[in-house]
Amino acid sequence: MRVVFDTNILLSAFLTQGGVAQKLFERAVAKYTVLTSEYILAEATEKLAIKLNVPEDKINAFIRYVRVRMHIYSPAGNGKIDFEDPKDIPILDLLHAGGVHYFITGDKKLLALKKHRQTLILSLREALELL
């Protein structure tokens, strides 16, 4: 099974030690193939630095942590996906091209889809119950 964590859940897993998101992340890494992309890593880095004002050494620790525990996948980005928020298109492309089974997110627009091709789109709570 292949799993992708959206940026918001990934950051929550990293920032809230012992929290629900971190527990789910650790469980997923132990049981499944967890994918991410350079796009998600760049988005996470930007949010950590600009919005959350996290020091650079902690951001670098986060990137190292992710690179060790997850598989970095770079989809071709063929542009055939249409979605109302263009910032989510690279993520939807990753789900399709990476053959992802489960996508965990807190984004309401993405959750409203419920499914994108072969991928079930789950909230953190739904993922806890299923995975």
- Domain residues for the domain of 15 are 2-130
The pLDDT value recorded for residue 74 is 80
The amino acid at 25: F
The pLDDT value recorded for residue 78 is 59
- What string of pLDDT tens digits covers the 131 residues of the chain? 999 999 999 999 988 888 999 999 999 999 999 999 999 999 999 999 999 999 999 999 989 988 898 999 887 665 566 667 678 788 998 998 889 999 999 999 999 999 998 999 999 999 999 98
List all residues 6 or more positions away from 72 whose beta carbon is below 8 Å from its beta carbon: 35, 36, 37, 38, 41
Counting the structural domains of the chain, the total is: 1
Q: Specify the CATH number for the domain of residue 50.
A: 3.40.50.1010
Task: Give the residue from 16, 15, 67 showing the smallest Cα distance to 40.
Answer: 67
pTM of the model: 0.90
As a whole number of angstroms, the longest Cα–Cα distance in the chain is 39
